[in-house]
Copies of this chain bind each other. A is one copy, B any other.
Amino acid sequence: MEILILHGPNLNLLGKREPGIYGTTTLEQINQILEADGKILDTTVTCRQSNHEGELIDRIHACPGKYDGIVINAGAYTHTSIAIRDAIAAVNVPTVEVHLSNLHKREEFRHRSLIAAVCIGQICGFGIESYRLGLQALVTYLKK
């Protein structure tokens, strides 16, 4: 099984910014953990990050025939990008939405996800574990 982990804007700064809040684990380290998790789940995990909405869309478009599922943390685009929503709906590749922080504890404008309605489900608030649970949920879903 092939899974794409797609990280949205500003996530490249993980472990480098505000370590007091987000910890000192870098995005690279998260990717390594997810790749290791993938091996246990008999799954090849590929990780990509971009700050560009268009590039995220391009990557989603490239999924059919190449990946069996997507775990996406669309970052701030979660709340503003109908285009990413349409991309996920169009390619019809099972997608799980994850977030490091609990969006509901933050500003009002982060409470609405434009992409949630086209994903299988949503996991938020568990830090790095959100990604790991998302990967696991997706693999379980695909095996059914």
Contacts and interface: CB of A to CB of B under 8 A. Distances in A.
Interface of A: 8-10, 12-13, 17-18, 50-55, 57-58, 61, 75-77, 79-83, 85-87, 90-92, 102, 104-105, 109-114, 116-117, 119-126, 129-130, 133, 136-137, 140-141
B121 A102 contact: yes
Q: Which of A81, A92, A113 has the most CB of B within 10 A?
A: A81
Contact of A117 (B57, B102, B141): B102
Given A80-B82, A104-B113, 15 more contacts: A9-B54, A10-B61, A10-B87, A17-B90, A18-B92, A52-B53, A52-B57, A53-B83, A76-B86, A80-B80, A82-B109, A104-B116, A105-B117, A111-B112, A122-B122
Contacts of A82: 76-77, 79-80, 109-110
Copy tally for this chain in the complex stands at 12
Summarize A's interface: helix, strand, loop or mixed: helix
A80 B77 contact: no
A122 B120 contact: no
A54 B61 contact: no
Contacts of A125: 119-122
Given A102-B120, A102-B122, A116-B102, A13 B91 contact: yes
